[in-house]
Structure 1
């Protein structure tokens, strides 16, 4: 079924535009009351819900949000307003349960189009269109909202269309009253000053659910310096011009949102799901994305643009023997590696294929001579500017919702969910003196600092220099080189040694002081030889000892609080179904969006296995707190009773990791997760949860084990 706006001939003979729900093989000629414009081939031949397209028998393909035929600019603006309201309601339905108020901002180029002081109700064209479209969409959403979303239903039903939009424009600094360019002083009698105060000054009230204002029309949001973290949708009801950059406009919505308590929504597990800005661009913004990307790229002038041999040669990497420079031979190997694997193009630009492979963990292996330095080399490659690294601007109409299905209600899944659905806090109790002793021992045995050194090179200018030699920097020939290190090299920079290590390790200055005063004089003496390296290495060793002790003494305390079912539905709007699986049989959603080949193969195994009753890719809001950050497990699986030893299973799927630093953090989180599931398992007399890390469905079956015959 598709929603189309078509012209319809009424019984009175009047022709009006109406929204109709139409199905496969419906004929627009008949639906419109036999208007001639729909006579030739306007029978619906295909409705593609995944790509939001409708195809007609005459070959015309219409995409969501597009208009065809006799379309005026007024029609385009109405469509924009409708799409903005729709995007707002989608986002609001997603975030309401999390206590996040959604705001939408309209940029307009004429005050009169929103606030027409010549009209009795002072409503301009945009205000009238907004209220008409809002009432239609509000009724549609209220009719479709699921029963389990009753709180949002009541909230939406209780907001009046006339009170949910507001505007603010220019203020006369002398009178502190609004200025209407058409009637001047008459604007002093307007209520818009209250709107100005609400929108510009009283952000706390504006972000409260008790305040009905959710849609803001502005002619001067950029000039007035207005800023609000909860703008999730922006609509450009104006023509593009060169006075304001797209980055400035979009920047009004690129903020981390806050909830009703004023807390920033910046948890790494969900920050990119919640803080997504939707821009509804006008017809003159058809090149909006390309223009925005170009503006961003133009500001990155300091970034190197080409991955050449010359760029890599001379870069410094750290080895066991200390820092060394990448030689010309190594630089050539890196350059050839990129070319061979299509990670750079003919212009020596880093390609999107490189970034995709890196994200998926499928980068081709480096040459043997470079493998030991892989992490550092990939960091140097990443420092080269690439268009693929620009923020991804996606078509907001393509993502689909992915509602829960009947598998979620199965008793097997509800039993599994009941076992793991616990919020918890952790506590760590250890003796500071023991930590100091372990850190002193580790530093004495492991801390090795590379002394500072400098190289003095002497050269002579060649005779008969050419212009080409000067441009290439070949005018001088090297005649000699000496390197000084150790005692003859000293840093004159003053360092807050205790402060830096305390900051890096999240320990007190007192504890750090006890550790450093306990190490051998010869070990501490390395500080003056290379302060930066000493601080970095000492911080790393101390942090490792702390992490080991934290895991050993970590304990989870269960709370009475549990996760609401909302975490399964909170982030279901806006999913990119280009990465989705085929329709699934045993998953709690019809589809699953996977992040890697490993996950895709894992899903195939779960969905076709006769031993599996139901499973779920756990929502990103399901978090286990750990000392190194919140942890979100991947999968919850319920097996058929009697077929395996462990009926209820929580799995983490891992392939190869591209970053050593990330691997250590993940290892620590996984170790903490084991303790968490052990703790909640102790509270269940039978069918305890089994947690483990697996690389495939076959590995999973090895872990759960077949039940004895």
Structure 2
């Protein structure tokens, strides 16, 4: 297969933006000879550098002021903020392009354009790593014929190597367009630095850097945020660049931005795949293996080293896995909230930054990337991830096979041995753990899937592929003499955690086109997690992370970028909007399968996407349009004057698209229907104006007709917290209390034993998979930050199988004491009294046994104690600031209710009953003020903390104030068990702290509340 390349308007726009900054530069048909004042046709030797050619200098009329003027014209045209001055050392221009949109293609096109317009022919591409270097080199190879057909010339390109300095001579002397690719390690460290800066005999006593600098090259920096440290910046000055171009998706410092195609633009213009996520997590844990994972060690100049350690934590709803930064003397038993698996001296004794290791008091030592304990659980989780990847792959394959699209899935692993094992030097290798899992799961899943296939052609395709032939590994290869070639661990950079080995990149990129053919049986790729950047394959539709992940890794989006490109068919044709129309993002969908809970994964990913959107315009005002060149539907191009910009803004306000300089939901609704209308003389520019507005960062867009702008944030208004109505309500509801209680212990023990034998149920360990998708359109950075860019679509729970035996010893009595507040004597009496079959449930799932038994005990304890509880008011009260600290988000028409009688503009509800109750409160003349109580407000009870739903100030028929605290969330007409006990305690609490002025109860609706208060 041969990949086809289309002329993409945005790539041409980016190239033109760079070239137009130098408008006024004359065209020089040939490169200048080196030398000052020398005849252009006479060879000249400069300071021992030899004879060579150089880029034509900038024309005298291209002063800084003229270049800045050109830059402003470009920035106005593309809608970017104007640079106040030419920032950075020398002339620097920045281009921002989202991963997967063809950044390398764009700057190669820019090279050709700069040569065609101005004759410049010496270019150096500076990259941060071997990975990117190999990717750039491969891109130059694959696009060579495409660009040669367009421009009638070919680039001559090479990778800088200090052992092949003859290539540097050709770079300086050949009249062709010369491109040198160099990674920063080649001139910034070790042996290579000494050679490039010294005068080796093999280079006729010249310094290579002098020969290169004399050509006045144009520098192109790929991923400058990863390149330009202090030392590298100093080294780059030695190249004596004519000017510098910077290309990245996430600039740290954007010098003189001339073009931007960020995450928001890329998704909304359907230029990259839509992202979906599938989280595979345990709904409960056997907690029987002392699971500990060392993610890495953090070093700092002024503090002791810290370790990022993954371990399990006991919460109210069960066991979950977390990664926390811990220092010496940290105790995992305490940090896990007392999980017995960490009771055996899991205390951090030493953190060693030299080898990135952590040693615990019990002798366990882990290196970065290693884990201990929980092997059975981890293996099970990885198996489910592999299974779900195969299922997702087959579903996507069935959809795309008839379109001639080959579907690929990628597994990222952190150890080669997990995929391939070798015995001795001559061993041919055998399947590792993950390869075995894959083949077993593939056979089972494919067999079940075949029964659902109704396409004979696809069935024949699936039947013709063997499980052993459809997966392959892409790792570094050891080809030493006397032994068979084998996969090996590559060299990893300690800082970036990326691979130094060109071999692995060459292998996976060399097979790129072959893998796209339906005749090639390999569909599942296993690769090292360090191969994160510098390569990609457009037909990767599933990426499975078979390794623990951090939220920072997800935000960096390096692994995800391997699959963002739009797919191609068997002719190498890109399946974009011109081919698929409106179905482009439904078919181009990248699913990420991870062991992280779906919500955390989606949130981390969205934060990473949002980080690149901070520089977007925020307000709709005339300056957004002034100076732009807009193209109307008739093809006419209009330069927007200040007066025309004022007219456009006035029309937007008139149409209801803008209010207080912020886009409304009406705009998003009409934009998605292609129905934006400005009316009058501006009608022809409606579509062009809509495209400009799609780039505006909108903190909150409230819809007029649909849910596009319906995601809202509820924040308390500080002014409303100062009103007399709120202060009066809070003076009665806000005070704190403590309680005293007594009960009959013997009666309690008997009731608890009876309850446990009758009602105790322990849940076996199971696995939850949650699938969600990215929204088709992303409106703003705020949409990402608020977690509204992903929606859950599917969730299911499957049994994990029988638990493996563990070696953890439990202080069962002690744990019950912790969870229930009973004495050890009482807890022991309960355990001795229950039936043997009840106690046998402990072995099924120890942690769940403790959790469920504690709940039943607390329920019985509640019933015993609430009859004798007494509350006493404290001098302390809850600060009203807890409302300003509580931020909740919801969707209009679903969970959010517009509020006039509360302390915020919206009230966020959890259930339909709560929403109906809030709407009734808003409509009632009897209600003065109401608040949704945050979780940080609670009443202490013997059976746990209790937070009611609402605090309400009403007026009775005589106009006197009435105060009521209401519970509305229960499913039953009245709370039962522990919830009933908590409510009874709440009544006693409010009676004590308000002197009887506050009533409390559970109500189904406002009518019932009004009947209670009379």
User: TM-score when scaled to structure 2?
Assistant: 0.30
- Specify which structure has the higher proportion of strand: 2
TM-score, scaled relative to structure 1 = 0.41
